[in-house]
Amino acid sequence: MGAIVNRIGRVVVSSVLLAAATIFYFGITGTIAPNQVAVSTDTVVNPAGDAAPVAVGSVVVGPAGLAIPVAGVRPGQLVDTYTQARAGGARRHDAIDIMAATGTPVVSAAPGRVEKLYFSNGGGGISAYVRSDDGLWNYYYAHLSAYAPGLREGQRLHRGSPVGYVGYTGNANPEGPHLHFAVNRMAPGEKWYQGTPINPYPLLAGNAAKR
Ligand SMILES: [Zn+2]
């Protein structure tokens, strides 16, 4: 994998495994609280793919430089669906849905290790949980049509590594294939199915949702 940093603070990562795909991502700065994510236009990147938090001045960066985890999707195409109600208002969405055609490559938003490959017929369908190297974050990829070839639990992923393909397995609408992507803050000892969600939208789009 190679990385090029250009002058507007955007980083393009080209993966040899996704030769035709480019992934745009932005660094984030700010103090991460469960329901509040501060985002700066100052870009913090780590082309080496190290997931360790990066301190910039007096602020602390959470999951720095998340890649948009669907190949070819630009920040401006993202929609903040984090607070949308699900199940008739019974629960909050707590994730972002990234719409894309079935079969579009899904890539790892950040470095980490595949902690759990899980199938939930009534939920996320074919799904993957990837834990950051520092253990503080878990990234959840759901409704996949399939995993990337050879994907297995315990596997180390780089930012941009293949995870699978967009689909609509589980409780997604076949007419609206998408990646359901969640970012969960993990307390010490929490399991793959636990954690506290934060809104991935500003992390991926590089700006707070307009209200
Ligand atoms: Zn969703």
pLDDT value for 55:
28
Rounded to an integer, what distance in angstroms lies between the CA atom of residue 150 and that of residue 139?
Answer: 19
Structure token digits, residue 61: 């960066």
Whether 129 has a pLDDT exceeding 70, the answer reads yes
Closest C-alpha among 36, 16, 37 to residue 28: 37
Burial label, 196 (beta-carbon count in 10 A; 0-12, 13-18, 19+): middle
Q: How far is the CA of 70 from the centre of ligand 1 (A)?
A: 14
pLDDT value for 154:
97
φ, ψ for residue 65, nearest 5 deg: 60, 50
Q: How far is the CA of 99 from the centre of ligand 1 (A)?
A: 10
Q: How far is the CA of 200 from the centre of ligand 1 (A)?
A: 12
Specify the range with the lowest mean pLDDT, choosing from 5-14, 86-95, 161-170: 5-14
Q: How far is the CA of 95 from the centre of ligand 1 (A)?
A: 6
Q: How far is the CA of 93 from the centre of ligand 1 (A)?
A: 6
pLDDT value for 75:
82
Specify the range with the lowest mean pLDDT, choosing from 36-40, 97-101, 130-134, 183-187: 36-40
Q: How far is the CA of 26 from the centre of ligand 1 (A)?
A: 22
Whether 52 has a pLDDT exceeding 90, the answer reads no
Q: How far is the CA of 132 from the centre of ligand 1 (A)?
A: 21
Q: How far is the CA of 96 from the centre of ligand 1 (A)?
A: 6
Rounded to an integer, what distance in angstroms lies between the CA atom of residue 43 and that of residue 49?
Answer: 15
- How does pLDDT run across 61-98, given as a tens digit for each residue? 224 488 889 988 888 888 999 988 877 777 889 999 99
Q: How far is the CA of 113 from the centre of ligand 1 (A)?
A: 22
Rounded to an integer, what distance in angstroms lies between the CA atom of residue 14 and that of residue 63?
Answer: 20
Query: 62, 37 in Cβ contact below 8 A?
Result: yes
Whether 24 has a pLDDT exceeding 80, the answer reads no
What is the three-class DSSP state of 136?
Answer: coil
Q: Which domains does the chain have, with CATH numbers?
A: 2-205 (2.70.70.10)
